Structure 1
Amino acid sequence: MGRPTVAGVMSRAVEAVRSLAVLYRAGLAPIPRLDEGIRSIISTRRYGPLAGSVKIAARRDPHSVGLVDERGSLTYTQLDLRSNALARAWAARGVRPGTTVAVLCRDHRGLVLALLAAGKLGAPVLLLNTGFAKPQLTDVAAREKVRVLVHDEEFTDLLGDIAGVDRYLAWTDSTPPADVPTLDDIIAGSDDHPLPAPPKPGGLVLLTSGTTGTPKGAPRPKVSPFDSAQFLDRIPLRVGEATFMGAPLFHATGISQFILSCALGCTVVVRRKFDPEATLRGVAEHRCTALVLVPTMLQRILDLGPEVIGRYDTSSLRIIFVAGSALAPEVGNRATELFGDVIHNLYGSTEVAVATVATPEDWKRAPGTVGKPPVGCRVELYDEHGRRITRPYVTGRVFVGSGLAFEGYTDGRTKETINGLLATGDVGHFDADGLLFIDGRDDEMIVSGGENVYPVEVENVLVEHPDVREAAVIGVPDDEFGQRLKAFVVVKEGAELDADAVREHVRNNLARYKVPRDVEFLDQLPRNATGKVLRNSLE
């Protein structure tokens, strides 16, 4: 590695100043109380971003509510003390720094307390996807050398093939079995005094979606408070507000926004399962300023219709934060009409974390955009020969540099890099204003009769039809053209639509070679727990 250049040092210094300004604007840089700022940095570095943030929030305001779930509310002080007790109980049972703790839980206090306790012990936490099948869970647990398994009672049967682990129940809906202790029981029987800091934070291990095989583990060891600026630069979250967390916490979107909300001392409202009307009710009841969703959740809220949505006072919302998969222009526009200029569309991945964010102003100017990189992020496009693309409206492979990016999968593999940037696996283009658009996955491009087609463009046109609720497009083998387009369409309740009308709608809006030859109607699209379409299930 070469010596740092003067230009490189200056660039990093400017970026640090910009980051500090962003943190100050959000209320995270307690100027002139530099002692509090230093204490926050030390706590985060010792315990990790989540456990460290909860400690600071409890110190800042011992009575502030940190979490609301279906069992009620917990203050930051209660979260801190109960996680102390859990950490001490686990330590007595042999959990040490480096012991891998896996959690398979819905969003509730048990999951949060497990994350906090593991952080205080320096134990890495593996966040398991509640939508995974039994073989995937078994394979991942073996590969990641899981020694402690925390799960909800409903997932017991999925975990039957995982051996050699200590099990704990985080949530039960009936009388728990005598042979598996509950978190509540061991917390009640343990001392809640603070623990000495571990040698280093344990960090989190997120999992890829696993749509093409066994999910890969992506560690997230980053603990710098400056990394928070990447989100806060373009998303106006503020200290002491309230966030409704619709996105699951095992997903990169959910856990990143949960940690950031805790760092801001916000009240975080969660539910075990997403329900669109209950979400609106929660936003209204707790006066939430931010709502964190994946696009299918936003679609389900919009499908309630203006009459139902109008029953709830959502005027407190300043931010609807959407990430995890593509947000169709039609969906974002409908949300803007109903909720105002609040859409913040984030683009990133499990590996690179945040890449770009579209603000409401960006969205109004160019619906469908994922915006621009925030402070600390860099996005560049490259062609198939590794040459950088700088002209607008030219599609290329997307590469991202981010302070929150991972450093490789747990199995030793990593993503392709160019010029220090990680490949996201997507292709996209910039417009003349520098706004990024994602055109699709680079492995989903359909070549039909020599023409390149990315499914997302056709899908976005399909959902603009007034009778279409959602749609997916894939390529299927064709003797004459190599591949032809096949559309899977879900029609809105009460609407009637036939294949000819679908094809005519696309023909009126896109080039002839982008019109699906085949159209199949479904009751719903197959999706994973974070709303991504399972294209391998379509044929």
Structure 2
Amino acid sequence: MRTPPTVTELTARVAETARSVEVMWRAGFIPFPRVDEGLRSLVLTRKYGPLAGAVRIAARRNPMDIGLVDELGPLTFSQLDQQSNALARAWSERGVGLGSSVAVLCRDHRGLVLTMLAAGKLGAALLLMNTGFARPQLTDVAKREKVQVLVYDEEFTDLLGDIEGVDRYLAWTETAGADRDVTTLDELIAGTDDSAPPAPEKPGGLILLTSGTTGTPKGAPRPKISPLHSAQFLDRIPLRVGEATYMGAPLFHGTGISQFILSLALGCTVVLRRRFDPEEALRGVEKYKCTALVLVPTMLQRIIDLGPEVIGRYDTSSIRIIFLAGSALPPDVGNRATEIFGPVIHNLYGSTEVAVATVATPEDWAMAPGTVGRPPVGCRVALYDEQGNRITEPNVTGRVFVGSGLAFEGYTDGRHKEMIDGLLSSGDVGHFDENGLLFIDGRDDEMIVSGGENVYPIEVENLLVEHPEIHEAAVIGVPDQEFGQRLKAFVVKAPGSELDADAVRAFVKQNLARYKVPRDVEFLDELPRNATGKLLRNKLG
């Protein structure tokens, strides 16, 4: 039986709600003094969910404004609304509706967006599948989530060959006019009435998948639809109404989908490309005067690696925000980006399960490069030791636990993450500094004990990438008969470098304790990463 909230808890909730409203008003989310428009927005979001509701709101307010740009050109908010109406009606005629499960395996383009919108208008659950998954993973996920409708790009046809008993639709085709057995979304839309369908009894919700680096990806539902949860981002990330966002991060990832929904809700133009290209991103920023650039850290690394001559060809002065999440941002990469683009780094820490935990603003980053910042409004972060005791001292590492209005309520297979004091485990360990800024020291299962000393590989990795001749680095623990475990470094050298293993070890020894020096060093052409740039440590050994 749930315990009623205390007076103190109720007071805190009221204060938090008031602050959330103020944050949203400052961003232009609440059109003061048109309170009626604000209430209408709340109603539409509650009816259709955050994405379909956002487009309906934008189509009502600014129907001819550009909502989306992809390789095929621009779409206005009105076109997005009407075309998704037609798709929703076509699927409704085929039995898709409240409680149906729609899976989508697409790169970033209008077909993916229209699928998301149509699912919201039908009250269907939308499952965003990772384009980097292997065939067995996709098959297992589709079976577990009881997928009924499968929307995909033609290039992924072979990956989906083992999925049976589903209705299939093509969102993107490579060869125009080819004979196909699968209906395209364009064909459904072209032959269907585009007036608004009846609102569903309730929104269907969104299911994100974990990275799947240790087996079959788990499903993490996102049922929360309150617009007030947008304040968790807007409190520390200054997105504003009517601007433009360049979306480099894939939409199937929590980083991409969160900023995509928020940008559309603010009536911003969102620029998508099916594949990330660093120079194309700069070209898009210049052409559409993008104020926000949404990336995972490896994408920012690729932009920086273009060099000053190439970067200087493009006018990037419109950028106010480089939003990063999905994996750790090395201090060296963030600092170099700041030198090039100015104080624009916004480094978010979260996960598929906990959603938002903290955000580092440019001011935070300048104070402490490498930090993931502070919790925004509506979020709480606390550290606990192995016995579950709260850690309050600065610079003491502990397990990270997060409370967020956007946090999930358990995996779709019934499992859950550990909870303490109402907070959810992120699976990471970290520490706060004297200024209350959070640093992530690594995964709680990545710590190694070497000769009785605790070592977190991320500290060594961050140091290695500061070396001018090291492009990328990863560090893991490997078995050692004498010390139990020892560190092994995997290094990608910069072009033209003649760096050897002794030089790598000497560099670490000059800057860190002796027990943090990797005894083994292996040079690679590239590090194994998934589609969102997350390092696949299980591929190293």
TM-score (norm 1): 1.00
- Residue of structure 2 in register with 1:387 after alignment: 389
- Residue of structure 1 in register with 2:57 after alignment: 56
Matched residue type, 1:201: P
- Please give the alpha-carbon distance, in whole angstroms, between the structure 2 residues aligned to 1:107 and 1:176: 23
Greater Cα offset, 24-33 or 209-218? 24-33
1:347-380 deviation line (CA, Å, top 9, x unaligned): 0000111100000000000000000000000000
Q: For 1:378, what is the secondary structure of its paired residue?
A: strand
- Residue of structure 2 in register with 1:88 after alignment: 89
Q: Which one of the candidate residues 475, 478, 483 is aligned to 2:477? A: 475
- Please give the alpha-carbon distance, in whole angstroms, between the structure 2 residues aligned to 1:505 and 1:396: 28
Length, aligned pairs only: 539
1:438-474 deviation line (CA, Å, top 9, x unaligned): 0000000011111111010000000000000000000
1:44-68 deviation line (CA, Å, top 9, x unaligned): 0000000000000011111110000
Q: Which one of the candidate residues 274, 279, 282 is aligned to 2:281? A: 279
- Please give the alpha-carbon distance, in whole angstroms, between the structure 1 residues aligned to 2:180 and 2:281: 35
Q: For 2:32, what is the secondary structure of its paired residue?
A: coil
- Please give the alpha-carbon distance, in whole angstroms, between the structure 2 residues aligned to 1:178 and 1:461: 53
Shift of residue 14 of structure 1? 0.3
Q: For 1:146, what is the secondary structure of its paired residue?
A: coil
- Please give the alpha-carbon distance, in whole angstroms, between the structure 1 residues aligned to 2:373 and 2:180: 52
- Residue of structure 2 in register with 1:356 after alignment: 358
- Residue of structure 2 in register with 1:226 after alignment: 228
Q: For 2:314, what is the secondary structure of its paired residue?
A: coil
- Residue of structure 2 in register with 1:534 after alignment: 536
CA RMSD of aligned residues (A): 0.5
- Structure 1 residue 31 and structure 2 residue 32: aligned? yes
- Please give the alpha-carbon distance, in whole angstroms, between the structure 2 residues aligned to 1:105 and 1:408: 26
Matched residue type, 2:251: L
Matched residue type, 1:22: V
Q: How do 1:186-265 and structure 2 match up within 5 A?
A: 186-265=188-267
Q: How do 1:2-401 and structure 2 match up within 5 A?
A: 2-174=3-175, 175-401=177-403
- Please give the alpha-carbon distance, in whole angstroms, between the structure 1 residues aligned to 2:279 and 2:364: 28
Shift of residue 3 of structure 1? 1.5
Unaligned runs of 5+ in 1: none
1:231-280 deviation line (CA, Å, top 9, x unaligned): 00000000000000000000000000000000000000000000000000
- Please give the alpha-carbon distance, in whole angstroms, between the structure 2 residues aligned to 1:96 and 1:2: 36
Matched residue type, 2:262: L
- Residue of structure 2 in register with 1:525 after alignment: 527
Shift of residue 104 of structure 1? 0.1
- Please give the alpha-carbon distance, in whole angstroms, between the structure 1 residues aligned to 2:518 and 2:78: 57
Shift of residue 309 of structure 1? 0.4
- Residue of structure 1 in register with 2:427 after alignment: 425
Shift of residue 32 of structure 1? 1.4
- Please give the alpha-carbon distance, in whole angstroms, between the structure 2 residues aligned to 1:2 and 1:159: 47
Shift of residue 297 of structure 1? 0.3
- Please give the alpha-carbon distance, in whole angstroms, between the structure 2 residues aligned to 1:439 and 1:60: 45
Identity %: 77
- Please give the alpha-carbon distance, in whole angstroms, between the structure 2 residues aligned to 1:471 and 1:153: 35
- Structure 1 residue 412 and structure 2 residue 406: aligned? no
Shift of residue 176 of structure 1? 4.4
Shift of residue 177 of structure 1? 3.9
Shift of residue 178 of structure 1? 2.7
- Please give the alpha-carbon distance, in whole angstroms, between the structure 2 residues aligned to 1:330 and 1:141: 40
- Please give the alpha-carbon distance, in whole angstroms, between the structure 2 residues aligned to 1:178 and 1:3: 58
TM-score (norm 2): 0.99
Shift of residue 79 of structure 1? 0.1
- Please give the alpha-carbon distance, in whole angstroms, between the structure 2 residues aligned to 1:414 and 1:518: 37
- Please give the alpha-carbon distance, in whole angstroms, between the structure 1 residues aligned to 2:157 and 2:178: 11
- Please give the alpha-carbon distance, in whole angstroms, between the structure 2 residues aligned to 1:443 and 1:2: 34
Q: For 1:357, what is the secondary structure of its paired residue?
A: strand
- Please give the alpha-carbon distance, in whole angstroms, between the structure 2 residues aligned to 1:405 and 1:11: 19
